[in-house]
Amino acid sequence: MSEAVAWDPDQYARYRIYRDRPALDLMVQIPADLAPRQIWDLGCGAGEQAAALAARHPQAHVHGLDSSPHMLEEARSLKADVTWVQDDIDQFSPHVAPDLIFTNAALQWLPSHAALFSRLVGLLAPGGVFACQMPLSFSQSWHEKLRETAAHGPWAEKLSGARGVQPVARAQDYYDWLCPLASVDIWTTTYLHVLQGEDPVIDWMSGTGMRPYLQRLSDADEREAFLSAYRTRIATDLPRRADGTTLFPFPRLFIMARRHA
């Protein structure tokens, strides 16, 4: 089993307005005629979307599942009408078939998507909906440069086994895997985030994609040297503009699959 990523809810929440947008864009595409009784938010993080789903579907039993105790602690503090479950998505095996599986920015952390996605959609009740969003960041220059920085430097050996964000499959692969089971709608959106501050890309990445690397660098000087090497690498692609902003293009993949009745 790969090393668990240590999530920090406060760091992750720093870019909440940007991270919420795709989750909401996904949520509004859930078919309006769906009247779910069993809802699961897989990789629910700090729980905001599970709470929103509970408010939107008051007749449903909503569950938020996540492997991170820190994220779930934050989620519990929302006092939402949600059952919080600490578990691994790979082990997800509900007693009652879900009518809605919602999963935002989580499945990119898991391997073997052909089997995983078919299994999750196969768990749905007939007519149930699988709604998923994943970042397409693996092939972006700022992720390539993160891997490059990790592989070249005095930290290379320490970081060689770190399992960062994995590449997701092509949109047409998800379509092929899911269409025997469901009606499938897939789209991509690139958000152009306008970030403020001195070091916004590093700050953003420290909340997600950089965590598997940073958690292996316990020495503060080594960490700073690593960040400085990364900062130099991304400076050309993602410069801070004269007005102080940094434009951060962020592509995301959306999948909405409705299980055949």
Ligand X SMILES: C[S@@+](CC[C@H](N)C(=O)[O-])C[C@H]1O[C@@H](n2cnc3c(N)ncnc32)[C@H](O)[C@@H]1O
Using CB atoms, what's the residue nearest to ligand X? 45
Provide the CB-side half-sphere exposure for 141 (13 A, CA): 12
54 versus 155: smaller Cβ distance to ligand X: 54
Q: In angstroms, give the least distance from the CB of 222 to ligand X.
A: 25
Are residues 27 and 53 in contact, defined by beta-carbon separation less than 8 angstroms?
Answer: yes
Q: Which is nearer to ligand X, 60 or 71 (CB)?
A: 71
Nearer Cβ to ligand X, position 43 or 200?
43
Nearer to ligand X, 36 or 212 (CB): 212
Question: Measured from the CB of residue 5, what is the shortest distance to ligand X in angstroms?
Answer: 7
Nearest in space to 19 (alpha carbons), one of 227, 207, 224: 207
Nearer residue to ligand X within complex by CB, 105 or 162: 105
Considering beta carbons, is residue 19 or 259 the nearer one to ligand X? 19
Q: How far is the CB of 157 from ligand X (least distance, A)?
A: 25
Q: How far is the CB of 172 from ligand X (least distance, A)?
A: 25
As measured in angstroms, the least distance from the Cβ of 144 to ligand X is 20
The residue among 36 and 155 lying less far from ligand X, judged by its C-beta, is 36
Q: Which residues bind ligand X (CB under 6 A)?
A: 7, 19, 23, 43-45, 49, 66-68, 71, 88-90, 104-106, 109-110, 208
Spatial separation of the C-alpha atoms in residues 245 and 5, rounded to whole Å? 30
d(CA 71, CA 9): 6
Rounded to an integer, what distance in angstroms lies between the CA atom of residue 216 and that of residue 223? Answer: 9
Q: How far is the CB of 238 from ligand X (least distance, A)?
A: 20
Whole-number minimum distance, CB 179 to ligand X, in Å?
Answer: 25
